[in-house]
Amino acid sequence: MSVTSQIVESYRHARYIIFTHPLIELQVDRCNGDLKALMLHHKCSRAAFITAYNPYSAILTEHQNQQRLAALSADLATIGLGVMHALGKDTEDKWPAEVSVFVLAIEYQIAVALGKEIWSECHVVGRRRWGT
């Protein structure tokens, strides 16, 4: 399925919230000191924000979305990666917030493969440069 430039822009302007204390709110292409501190604390340089909700922007029921998220979390646990609860939120409230996971220490290729497996049209992957 093709991802339109409008969908890409929506994801670029969305807010990605990680439920830590304090909350960490991310946006694509913006540095975040709290995220940097979290990654330093966990000694990792890569992370991904992934949702299993509403594949290819098809609105599913809450039950269907929760089942998909549980399967994604189980897949991540199987490969030894823990998750932090997270939420993807449209700043203009054009689409419903999506419960998601934030995964530390995940390799880019694994994040992309999991995204394809769950039919996610978008997954946000980031890295931290050591010393910055």
Q: What's the total number of domains in the chain?
A: 1
Average pLDDT over the chain, rounded to an integer: 86
Q: Is the pLDDT of residue 8 over 80?
A: no
Q: Is the pLDDT of residue 132 over 50?
A: no
> Do the domain assignments include residue 132?
no
The model's confidence at residue 76, banded by pLDDT at 50, 70 and 90, is very high
Q: What is the pLDDT of residue 62?
A: 95
> Do the domain assignments include residue 60?
yes
> Do the domain assignments include residue 84?
yes
CA–CA dist 79, 105 (Å, integer): 12
Range of the domain at 70: 5-127
> Do the domain assignments include residue 14?
yes
Instruction: Choose among 63, 50, 123, 61: nearest CA to 96.
Output: 61
pLDDT digits (tens, 9 = 90+) for 13-38: 899 999 999 999 999 888 899 999 99
Residue with tokens 């340089």: 45
- % of the chain residues with pLDDT over 70: 88
Q: Evaluate whether 47 touches 36 at the Cβ level (below 8 Å).
A: no
Strand runs (DSSP E) across the chain, as ranges?
15-18, 24-26, 46-50, 84-89, 98-104, 124-127
pLDDT (mean) for 89-97: 86
Q: Evaluate whether 108 touches 55 at the Cβ level (below 8 Å).
A: no
> Do the domain assignments include residue 101?
yes
pTM value? 0.86
